[in-house]
């Protein structure tokens, strides 16, 4: 009798293990693919042209609010917060203080704006701003220059390796004509564009940038600053106005980081 009970226990345990081994292992989680998103049109004040932001969602689990909520001012997920869109920035919060109008990506940690489509309402034709791999944080309209243009704040490299392209990375200055043509890079991809100073008497701007001189992969007020000059009439990569030898002599004199 004892032998029979022992055999029954062993057989039951073996059967349970065999059934358990047949359970398939859970499938490995695969990241959701990012979908192409074309945001709402923006009338930025140029005759016949409107623009559309083009990009993708960093986290596909984030969704736009239902249609009935998108115009609800109390909603926290409307087109101003929680969607791929360029939003006109208020005067008090402008990044580019001298611009007539400024449009920003208010959800840069969620949505990656990778291009802009210019659409001609008269001809029905559309064209992208560029064919490179870039990430647009904001753009500002400048009609006060002898050559009116758009200033773009753009990121190309994920400097801090957080898998997002936002204001924590190296921001470059690009410019174009008001219709998006003659798109031109003004500052290099390893410097962060901070500010600019406009001089109407010479039709130039001085662009202030920062260099990650200590290789910390971050940009702060403690980093080395640099100034580049750009001619409004002939935009091109900004010319450094202080030579390396001059800056090296100043560093030695002041006993600061080489």
Residue-wise pLDDT tens digits, 53-99: 999 998 765 445 455 544 444 333 334 445 889 999 877 788 998 89
Q: Do residues 35 and 87 touch, judged by C-beta distance below 8 A?
A: no
Please indicate, yes or no, if residue 145 is contained in any of the structural domains: yes
In a domain, 90, yes or no: yes
pLDDT at 55: 95
Mean pLDDT rounded to a whole number for the chain: 82
Residue 157 lies in a domain: yes
- Report pLDDT for 69: 46
**CA-to-CA distance for 104 and 141, rounded, in angstroms?**
12
Domain assignment present for residue 223? The answer is no
Does position 10 have pLDDT exceeding 70, yes or no?
no
Q: ∠50-53-58 over CA atoms, to 5°?
A: 170
Instruction: Find the domain containing 61 and state its range.
Output: 31-190
Total domain count, the chain = 1
User: In this structure, is residue 21 part of a structural domain?
Assistant: no
Contact 153, 95 (CB under 8 A): yes
Q: How far is CA 17 from the centre of its chain?
A: 53
Mean pLDDT for the stretch of residues 170-185: 97
Spell out the residues 6+ positions from residue 249 whose beta carbon is closer than 8 angstroms to its own.
none
Give pLDDT, residue 29. Answer: 47
């Amino acid at each position: 009798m004892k032998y029979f009970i022992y055999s029954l226990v062993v057989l039951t345990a073996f059967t349970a293990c065999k059934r358990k081994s047949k359970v398939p292992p859970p499938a490995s989680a695969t990241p959701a693919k990012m979908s192409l998103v074309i945001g709402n049109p923006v009338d930025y004040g140029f005759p016949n042209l409107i623009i559309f932001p083009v990009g993708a969602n960093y986290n596909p689990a984030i969704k736009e609010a239902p249609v009935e909520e998108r115009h609800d001012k109390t909603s926290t997920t409307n087109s101003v917060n929680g969607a791929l869109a360029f939003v006109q920035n208020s005067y008090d919060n402008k990044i580019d203080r001298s611009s007539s109008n400024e449009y920003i990506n208010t959800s840069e940690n969620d949505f990656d704006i990778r291009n802009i489509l210019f659409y001609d309402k008269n001809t029905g034709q559309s064209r992208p701003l560029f064919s490179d791999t870039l990430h647009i944080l904001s753009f500002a309209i400048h009609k006060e220059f002898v050559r009116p243009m758009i200033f773009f704040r753009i990121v190309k490299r994920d400097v801090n390796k957080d898998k997002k392209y936002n204001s924590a990375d190296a921001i470059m200055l690009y410019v174009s004509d008001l219709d998006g043509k003659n798109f031109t890079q003004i500052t290099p991809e390893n410097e962060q564009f901070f500010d600019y100073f406009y001089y109407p008497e010479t039709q130039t701007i001085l662009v202030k940038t920062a260099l990650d001189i200590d290789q910390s992969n971050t940009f702060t007020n403690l980093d080395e600053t640099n100034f580049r000059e750009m001619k409004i009439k002939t935009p091109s990569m900004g010319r450094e106005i202080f030579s390396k030898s001059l800056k090296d002599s100043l560093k030695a004199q002041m006993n600061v980081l080489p």
